[in-house]
Structure 1
């Protein structure tokens, strides 16, 4: 009986390791480059604005996927910065790509950020049923987005307001088929 209990404890510990998530938080005015490690999927984005810093704290989370991504060869690349300061962001990963990472640099003169995205794709992936979120944040308010199971983040649209020194965002999600 003691051996069985020990095996159960070991199995539960291993399960916890295998299903652990990756989470990182970046503070105001900070450069960051975040990407999901291995075959985890970007599943959560949260951001809170500060009028004092005129910037946002960013939190990203990646979780293990129920999809069998580990067996499929893929290509991943950084987009390079897709906007200038104070300019809109209109970005979508090419082909069957989806966003697995985000890079950003803040400038205190412009009180804005430039954005770059880490996209992963494979000829074996198929994206369907794409849609944009309704506006997930208001000026100077919290942004919070959770990616639904079976879906991936594929695109971002964002606009900056010089008076408010903030951005609002819309996110494009697609269903991922393997």
Structure 2
């Protein structure tokens, strides 16, 4: 009788511990999930831990870049905004760069041949991203007054960069911190002279 009672109590205790641990594990797991991308960044156009490609439509160029970070996947979601170039109804040439950085490596790129940025492609692996930029130009267009922005983000915090009025995005600089699992971004800008 005593051993049956002991077994029953032991079974209740084991089930209680298993269910309790299971609920606690589920609660911890739920807390560690990244929020929905559009909750983290209004209008986010990308997903966590995913490949993406963004191209401005028609003869538009990148005007604003926003991002939000999630420590769980050590990644950012992104939102890009485009705008027109006065006097340009179409680009004569557009091309994608090669991969601009290795994972955990430095990136420093400016569109060659007097071109400006009209798109991004990126892949995420581990806790970092590698990038390609789409560059576009009008025949006879030249870039000048090249400058570099301040950093647009701190590690693990949102980023927001608007290209100043009259300027155009021509490149990007970035470095990765493995301990923080994030990158900081700077943007290269320029003025343009149309033919």
Question: Which TM bucket (shorter chain)?
Answer: 0.7 to 0.9
SS of structure 2 residue aligned to 1:25: coil
| TM-score, length-scaled by structure 1 | 0.81
Q: Radius of gyration: which is bigger?
A: 2
Q: Which structure is higher in strand share? A: 1
Aligned residues: CA RMSD:
1.4
Larger fraction in helix: 2
Match of 2:57?
A: 37
Paired with 1:68 and 1:27, the residues of 2 have a C-alpha distance of 35
**What's the CA shift for 1:24?**
6.1
Greater relative contact order, per chain length (Cα 8 Å cut-off, separation 6+) = 1
Aligned 8 A contact 1:96 1:123 in 2: no
**Within 1, Cα distance between the matches of 2:49 and 2:181?**
13
**1-side partners of 2:83 and 2:137: how far apart?**
18
Does the 8 A contact of 1:100 with 1:120 survive in 2?
yes
Match of 1:97 in 2: 115
1:159 equivalenced with 2:175 (yes/no): yes
Q: Does 1:172 align with 2:191?
A: no
CA distance in 1, matches of 2:44, 2:160: 15
5+ residue gaps in structure 2?
Answer: 1-42
What's the counterpart of residue 58 of structure 1? 78
Shift of 1:54: 0.5
Count of residue pairs brought into register by the alignment = 152
**Separation in 2, partners of 1:114, 1:93:** 16
**SS state at 2:89 partner:** helix
For residues 58 and 167 of structure 2, what CA distance do their matches in structure 1 show? 17
Match of 2:87 among 40, 45, 68: 68
Rounded Cα–Cα distance in structure 2 between residues aligned with 1:152 and 1:78: 17
Offset at 1:124? 1.9
So what's the TM-score if we normalise by structure 2? 0.74
